[in-house]
Each structure stands twice: as C-alpha cells, then as structure tokens.
Structure 1
C-alpha cells in the first residue's frame, strides 16, 4: 500500500520531517518526531487537508502509515 504525495506532505508537515523520510514503515513513536503531540497535529492536518472529521476511536488506531491510509478509506479518502 503506497501513499499519495499529498499524504506524504501531510506527514512531513505534521512531523517536521523531510518528505523522503516518510515511508510506509513509519509508525507512532518509531521516530522521536512522532510523539503524542505531533500525532494530534497529524490528525488536525489530515482533517484539514481532506475536509473530514476523524472520530476518536479512529485517531487512536492511526498509529502507522498503513493504518492511516486504511483509516482514511473509512472516510471516503483515497490516500
């Protein structure tokens, strides 16, 4: 499952990482930049970029790139 350039940009912005460091292997707390605070920034960025509102139970499951892509599909977003 590969991510779109738009989703890669969202991750890069939220985590303050270069886009080339955003890979499918990236997971919550796998890098120091993805902590609880940046996770909330990531969720806010996702909601803003894709014009959706993510439910609490879903944001807790969005703990790696693959789960974010899967979670976005629940909201009709192909990322």
Structure 2
C-alpha cells in the first residue's frame, strides 16, 4: 500500500507503469506524447464563436451552410435516439 497525503491506498497497475531507463537516460517521450495529445482540443477552432468547417466537403461554416446532410452517426443507435429526452 502507498501513502498519499497520509492516506493508505492499494497500488493499481497504472501506478506500476515502467519508464524505460537506458544508458543513463530516461525516455519520457511516450508520457510526453500522451500528455500533449490529451491536451489538444478534439475540434480546434480559430476563435470561440467559430463554427468550423464541414467534415464532408470542407466548406467554411462561418460563411453559411454547405448543404451537406448532417451525419447522425452510427445507425445502430437510432432506436436509443428515439427515447424521450434524447
């Protein structure tokens, strides 16, 4: 068990992750890469009120609608979308 701020807790597999150490160096690249990728926004925008671009045709949605059909996603979820409150 490990002590965190005076509290005991069991170690998980994540706590035991190994960092590679070779020839006097520690390879932090995998951890750094993961941290940067998780910090990036899923949909990067140029400004707060930007509507982005259409993922189908690439038109700038700030200039107006492109006319592409809005993708509703995976059709296997359609019955769940019909439930009240969705």
TM over 0.5: no
Which one has the largest radius of gyration?
Answer: 2
Bigger relative CO (Cα 8 Å, ≥ 6 apart)? 1
| TM-score, structure 1 normalization | 0.24
Relative to its length, the structure with more helix (as a share) is 1
Relative to its length, the structure with more strand (as a share) is 2
| TM-score, structure 2 normalization | 0.22
